[in-house]
C-alpha cells in the first residue's frame, strides 16, 4: 500500500469550454462525494472494457450548479477557461434552488430522463434510490396547463417518485416547494 497523503483543499480543477469542469483524480472525486455530497456524472469508459457503457468511469463531469457551489464554499480552485455560470436570471434562480435543496442534505443529480431538473436522493446514491423529481418553475413562466401538470405528476408516480414543483416566492424571499403524487380513485 502506498502512503499517499490526502489531497489538500482547495482541490485544483480545470475548467474547459462551455464551463465544463472534469475531475480526473479518483481521490478528489471521492472527497467531493463524501465531504460535499457532490455526485457529478461519470463520463469515461472503463479502460479494461471500453466498448461497454453500463458502467462509466472517470472523468467525473460536474454540473454547473455543483461547480458554483464548490467555488462558493472554497473547496475548489479552477484553472483554464473562466467559469462564467450563472449569468442569466433563470440560471441564478436555478443555482439558488440547487443550494436550497443541498442545504436540506439531499444528494442531487440531473433528472432530464424523468422530465425534471433534479433528482433528490435521501442518502448516498449508490445505496438509495432517488425519492423526488424536482421541476423548477421560473417566475416569468406561464402557469402550467392542467394537461402538463397531470403529465408531470403521472410520470413521477410511474417511476415511483414524488414530483416537486419549485418556484421562487419573492414575498417570502424563499422557495416554495409543492410535492405531488398521482392516485386514481
- Among 7, 12, 129, 141, the active-site one is 129
Helix (H, G, I), strand (E, B) or coil at 184: coil
Buried b (16+ CB within 10 A) or exposed e, 115-142: ebbbbbbeeebeeeebebbbbbbeeeee
Beta-carbon contacts of residue 19 (< 8 Å; ≥ 6 apart): 64, 67, 81, 83, 84, 85
Task: Check if 121 is active-site.
Answer: yes
The single residue of 102, 118, 121, 132 carrying the catalytic annotation is 121
**Cβ–Cβ < 8 Å for 113, 159:** no
132 in active site: no
* Residue 57 annotated in active site: no
* Catalytic residue annotation: 121, 129, 161
Amino acid at each position: 500500500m502506498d502512503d499517499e497523503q490526502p489531497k489538500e483543499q482547495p482541490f485544483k480543477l480545470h475548467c474547459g469550454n462551455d464551463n465544463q469542469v472534469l475531475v480526473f483524480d479518483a481521490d478528489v472525486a471521492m472527497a467531493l462525494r463524501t465531504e460535499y455530497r457532490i455526485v457529478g456524472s461519470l463520463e469515461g469508459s472503463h479502460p479494461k472494457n471500453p466498448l461497454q457503457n453500463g458502467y462509466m468511469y472517470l472523468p467525473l463531469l460536474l454540473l454547473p450548479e455543483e461547480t458554483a457551489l464548490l467555488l462558493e464554499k472554497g473547496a475548489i480552485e479552477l484553472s483554464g477557461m473562466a467559469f462564467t455560470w450563472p449569468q442569466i436570471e433563470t440560471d441564478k434562480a436555478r443555482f439558488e434552488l440547487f443550494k436550497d435543496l443541498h442545504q436540506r442534505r439531499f444528494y442531487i443529480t440531473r433528472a432530464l430522463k424523468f422530465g425534471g431538473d433534479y433528482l433528490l436522493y435521501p442518502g448516498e446514491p449508490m445505496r438509495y434510490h432517488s425519492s423526488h423529481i424536482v421541476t423548477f418553475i421560473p417566475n416569468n413562466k406561464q402557469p402550467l396547463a392542467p394537461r402538463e401538470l397531470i403529465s408531470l405528476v403521472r410520470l413521477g408516480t410511474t417511476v415511483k417518485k414524488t414530483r416537486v414543483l419549485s418556484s421562487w416566492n419573492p414575498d417570502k424571499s424563499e422557495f416554495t416547494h409543492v410535492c405531488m403524487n398521482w392516485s386514481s380513485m
